[in-house]
Structure 1
């Protein structure tokens, strides 16, 4: 496989090049690959770096090599099918990154069970006027609610201004069921904290933090754990321990340069997402009453 345009600058402020992008994903692959395996992927491509135009790509590129795994998925209404890329090993990942793919967005469900998400997710997206302290406080309120319901959750920085909370779920729950459970929990947070909104139209949110649980849907995606983000610091979506979610938390500290020291010290903090599966029966009872 030929790598191209390695000297092209992708992060102008830091001077990081496409070669740095590729080197990062080669080094992070042992941690990242288990979180991508069997999930259809949406690529976010920045052919000219973060200062240039970008686009989301669902369809696998026609020029892909024969060895790159893909999966054909019928779109809504079965009007058309989309062939998504998959990643099984480092070579597959490297091919996609060489396309200028800074971010990787996996589905929430695997190719073997496309209608059944493996996690309930909450995306905490603050308004520009809100500090990260607000994100921390809302995340801890959400954790308290999840604890009360007997649900174990795992936080990660979004790599930008927010945070993602993952709640692994057992087999057999479909997207609608998991989404309804998430909405029931999110409505409680919205009612408890006036800084939070579930309003989807941007014009209706005001200066409130958007607690997004609408990404729980077939074909919808979030940036993967360990995905780089197209921000000046080249930050990484990084898993956290709950005791780290404090006023001292600085998501900008986790970057293309610093993440590996953390991994060497702490390992993959998202590993339990594979192993701990939550039962949603208690939340379903709550959802039925709301």
Structure 2
């Protein structure tokens, strides 16, 4: 392992980068260092990049590891190389009172490695892309974020996911499941802009809440959620983002948001069955390819 302070120049697909602090352990409990984070993102790139391309990036950076301070970053850093694609987009409701934000767009491996070197452990993107000219396009994805209220777990999320899949199938919107990489899971479906996506997702969430009041809640209030699965439909708001497939998460171990087989959802009996670390994800890709690739 390289010394923490060492700078290592590398060339990635014709781009020059300098990797730093490769020996810094970012996941102390697992002994998982920055070099391993960069290695994971480099190896997962063939299946990850199609889900990042064209989407404005928000990252969650942990420069001192998962036990240290972190920050969300939407604006591309000032030292961003000029070869990284950026798009300037309106920022309504910005917490920093900015009228616009210069988002990075991860279209290639060098950009992905650049962000991994910044200890951007988590990669979050919206449900829409930008055009070649940097204009926001209509949403192309519908997402339902299933969040269990303790003592419910991802097992209960799986039961709700199966019910939601039936509803979406009936609507002509076949869905794909993935873990959140934390305690819950998400369902994604291609979106045809038949109506405003948040309103549509809210209506389906409330439908399931009415049909299964002991299992499902569609409101965010914490007091309504113990023992139930909150179907968060609000992630379809154009201003919001969701963790990307294959992105690492900043927990005790380097788990990732992992695409699933529906068979795994149907058969899940214990939460630990759907916990996948970076090495697990790479092994799954070797076996299954990209389970999140739409036909």
Q: Which one of 198, 207, 216 corresponds to residue 196 of structure 1?
A: 216
Segment of structure 1 superposing worse, 141-150 or 61-70: 141-150
Aligned match of 2:76 = 60
CA deviation digits over 1:245-270, x for unaligned, max 9?
Answer: 12246121x21111122111111111
CA deviation digits over 1:178-205, x for unaligned, max 9?
Answer: 1111111111111122222111233443
Secondary structure of 2:149's partner? coil
Quick one: distance in 2 between partners of 1:232 and 1:45? 15
Quick one: distance in 2 between partners of 1:102 and 1:163? 18
Quick one: distance in 1 between partners of 2:151 and 2:233? 21
Q: Check whether the contact 2:154–2:185 (CA below 8 A) recurs between aligned residues.
A: no
Aligned match of 2:58 = 42
Secondary structure of 2:130's partner? coil
Aligned match of 1:144 = 166
Structure 1 residue 32, shift from structure 2 partner: 0.6
CA deviation digits over 1:103-146, x for unaligned, max 9?
Answer: 10011111126251111100001113213221111111111221
Structure 1 residue 86, shift from structure 2 partner: 0.7
Q: Check whether the contact 1:115–1:218 (CA below 8 A) recurs between aligned residues.
A: no
Secondary structure of 2:54's partner? coil
Quick one: distance in 2 between partners of 1:60 and 1:209? 35
Q: Check whether the contact 2:38–2:117 (CA below 8 A) recurs between aligned residues.
A: yes
Q: Check whether the contact 2:151–2:226 (CA below 8 A) recurs between aligned residues.
A: no
Structure 1 residue 28, shift from structure 2 partner: 0.6
Q: Which one of 122, 134, 150 corresponds to residue 103 of structure 1?
A: 122
Segment of structure 1 superposing worse, 111-120 or 84-93: 111-120
Aligned match of 2:107 = 88
Quick one: distance in 2 between partners of 1:148 and 1:88? 34
1:27 equivalent to 2:47? Answer no
TM-score, scaled to structure 2: 0.86
Q: Which one of 247, 255, 260 corresponds to residue 268 of structure 2?
A: 247
Paired residues for 1:95-174 under 5 Å: 95-112=114-131, 114=136, 116-170=138-192, 173=193
1:209 equivalent to 2:232? Answer no
Name segments (4+ residues, structure 1) moved above 4 Å: none
1:186 equivalent to 2:205? Answer yes
Secondary structure of 2:243's partner? coil
Segment of structure 1 superposing worse, 27-36 or 129-138: 129-138
Segment of structure 1 superposing worse, 33-42 or 126-135: 126-135
Aligned match of 2:12 = none
Quick one: distance in 1 between partners of 2:210 and 2:64? 43
Q: Which runs of 5+ in 2 are unaligned?
A: 1-16
Quick one: distance in 1 between partners of 2:112 and 2:247? 12
Q: Which one of 166, 177, 187 corresponds to residue 196 of structure 2?
A: 177
TM-score, scaled to structure 1: 0.88
Paired residues for 1:234-273 under 5 Å: 234-245=254-265, 246-248=267-269, 250-252=273-275, 254-272=276-294
Quick one: distance in 1 between partners of 2:198 and 2:185? 18
Aligned match of 2:249 = 229
Aligned match of 1:69 = 85
Quick one: distance in 1 between partners of 2:81 and 2:99? 23
